[in-house]
Amino acid sequence: MLIKAPSDIRPSEITPESVYRQRRQLIKAMVGGGLLMAAGPALALERYELAEGQRRYPGPDWLQQKLRAARAGEPLEGEPLAPYRLITGHNNFYEFGLDKQDPKARAQGFVTDPWRVEIGGEVANAGSYHLEDLLKPHALEERIYRLRCVEGWSMVIPWIGFPLADLIKRVEPTGNARFVEFTTLHDPEQMPGQRGFFSTLQWPYVEGLRMDEAMHPLTLLAVGVYGDALPPQNGAPLRLVVPWKYGFKSIKSIVSIRFTEQMPKATWNQTAPHEYGFYANVNPAVDHPRWSQATERRLPSSLFSPNIIDTLPFNGYAEQVAHLYSGMDLRKWY
Ligand code: MTE
């Protein structure tokens, strides 16, 4: 993957975090005083105020209603959220270009509603579902996660979604299902990065998880960020978020979820197997062949404040997920 210089973020653009902190304190005080008991749990959307001129993505009406009811998530103590502008302006989405700014610039006309998702393979309830129908039974919740890109940068992002495990239980995989394969939309007309000459990868983008990874409670299907719908550049209308793995596992704009016996042929793993493994667990002890993975640049960062921090095993989620890999040589299964 291409490594780019960080976008310089002015301190004034980090306002949402301070607003967020004030609200957090207010929420804590209200919980302490029992004031939230009657009002129900805190809602994600109410936490955020964006600076003037920052575009929000309300999404379709049916989604907006669900987003408004999303329960607020727990912040990561001592790790501020990346500003909205950075989360939605510094993206990897090769279907819309190679530069970090390309997806925001080129994905604005991307049609994400209506949207269908094909459920298939080793599963009882196979079919082509409207996203609205697929989401109907699921209450949304906020999850504040670290996203660690294999390129060496990271951000803290407040996603909104629901556990993939809940969807998997509903569609009832058969006993033969050992993996889950996810596929991004293939539509060269809408996605300039998939067109002709400058096309970089084999399309469509495919990713996969082992069944126990897919069923893990941290694994999220996201439809929103920062209290609102996902913008197209972040993988609207439906993306995966697997916080203990390098960001390339978190596939965007999903149109197919298949249950398979064989390990899926994941795009980066197929493109450069010696650089990108199928598992792709964040691991400071296993370097990328071309750079170290021991540290990361936590965004926002700048020339004068590079904000380099140690990378943690499993991106800080070892306590929850290390047992999934007990007995496996993580140097071999990188
Ligand atoms: N999904 C698709 N379909 N295409 C991509 O190029 N890039 C991946 C992942 N999902 C990518 C993708 C990579 S490398 C990262 S780091 C994350 O998306 C970035 O997510 P973000 O842009 O929301 O931060």
**91 CB near ligand 1 (under 6 Å):** yes
**154 CB near ligand 1 (under 6 Å):** no
As a whole number of angstroms, the distance between CA 140 and CA 74 comes to 14
**CATH of 80-325 among 3.20.20.70, 3.40.50.1950, 3.90.420.10, 3.40.190.10:** 3.90.420.10
Instruction: Show me where the domains of the chain are located.
Output: 80-325
Q: The whole model's pTM is what? A: 0.89
**Residue partners of 286: CB distance under 8 A and separation at least 6:** 293, 330, 331, 334
Closest atom of ligand 1 relative to the 233 alpha carbon:
22
Indicate the range of 54-58, 133-137, 153-157, 322-326 predicted with least confidence. 54-58
Question: In the prediction, which pLDDT does 19 show?
Answer: 52
Residue carrying structure tokens 């082509």: 128
- Closest Cα to atom 17 of ligand 1: 247
- Closest Cα to atom 9 of ligand 1: 248
**248 CB near ligand 1 (under 6 Å):** yes
As a whole number of angstroms, the distance between CA 94 and CA 9 comes to 23
Nearest to 298 by CA among 157, 158, 153: 153
Q: What amino acid occupies position 19?
A: V
Could you tell me the CA-to-CA distances from 303 to 123, 155, 224, 299 in Å, in that order? 50, 17, 31, 12
Closest atom of ligand 1 relative to the 193 alpha carbon:
6
Q: 251-282: per-residue pLDDT in tens?
A: 999 999 999 999 999 999 999 999 999 999 99
Strand order in the sheet with 127-130: 127-130, 116-121, 254-260, 179-184, 206-210
Confidence class of residue 48 from pLDDT cuts 50, 70 and 90? confident
CA of 53 to the centre of ligand 1 (A): 25
**Residue partners of 78: CB distance under 8 A and separation at least 6:** none
Collapsing DSSP to helix, strand or coil, 251 comes out as coil
